[in-house]
Structure 1
């Protein structure tokens, strides 16, 4: 049975301002439970966990970090409240994947801070471009990606993401 948000620390962080958020990388050997829990929560709320989700969330160290990818977590009051991953696809192309913010903190600018941080980190890595797959049900997420410079592209122009739920495809040249 998947762990839920209730299984995580339950500090009252609903009043946290975006500037109070600290963004840190998740390193090899560190606990990736919050990454899994935050992502399982939103995916299960809107869709169903797919095989690719279970693979990535079950072993983020092996499927992301040990393949040269990066994971970032947003922290508030000692708790992980958001996360995102950069997955290398070769030739300077990275998938922006598994972005999630605690449901109690939606609309507070944390996702934007996390996304802008990740784009900056991708540039520092020498990434040439980023791409992502999302879903039209996630209007706020799609709007955020558009607002920071992602552009809609045809799915065949991107590497295969293996997600049935993806019906919005975007990329950004860095």
Structure 2
């Protein structure tokens, strides 16, 4: 799905050959925002190098964003581990600087929420960190509300911002 006609930006479903590129984006963006082990963040994610396989499951989906033919971001949904079957989680939303401020994250999140509804989810949960102020603002604009604590069992011990949206 084309997003912006002024540049070559495309949102599409992840493919197996995208694993290395999206893992590189996630690592680069994490480092850019200081979300690294040397700053006290838990950065070990055993699934990071195999996102296609992780999201190639019923009711899960992950999209990558191509910019001028290169992977520059992505995000997805999956059932929230340890929660009711009606709750999904918005996951691994990462965008290179070149994509920010163009509405790409908003478009991808809307697409993910639409797919979540179509797959029978009634609520969407997310976790992030307060230092990602633009992300928190985006989620608030999308109608996510802050909740008092974590849901499910995500393993994201560093994410102190927890939010939920009724779909």
Decide which structure has greater helix share.
1
The answer to whether the 8 Å contact 2:14/2:52 transfers is: no
RMSD: 2.1
What's 1:42 paired with? Answer: 29
State how far apart, in whole Å, the 1-side matches of 2:79 and 2:117 are: 13
Unaligned runs of 5+ in 2: none
Q: Does 1:167 align with 2:160?
A: yes
Greater CA drift, 127-136 or 70-79: 70-79
Q: CA deviation at 1:166?
A: 0.3
Choose from 97, 106, 111 the match for 2:100.
106
Give TM-score, length-normalised by structure 1: 0.79
Q: CA deviation at 1:66?
A: 3.5
Alignment of 1:1-174 (within 5 A): 18-20=3-5, 21-27=9-15, 29-45=16-32, 46-48=34-36, 50=42, 53-66=44-57, 68-89=59-80, 91-156=85-150, 158-174=151-167
Q: How many residues align?
A: 155
Unaligned runs of 5+ in 1: 1-16
Give TM-score, length-normalised by structure 2: 0.82
Q: CA deviation at 1:48?
A: 1.9
The answer to whether the 8 Å contact 2:26/2:94 transfers is: yes
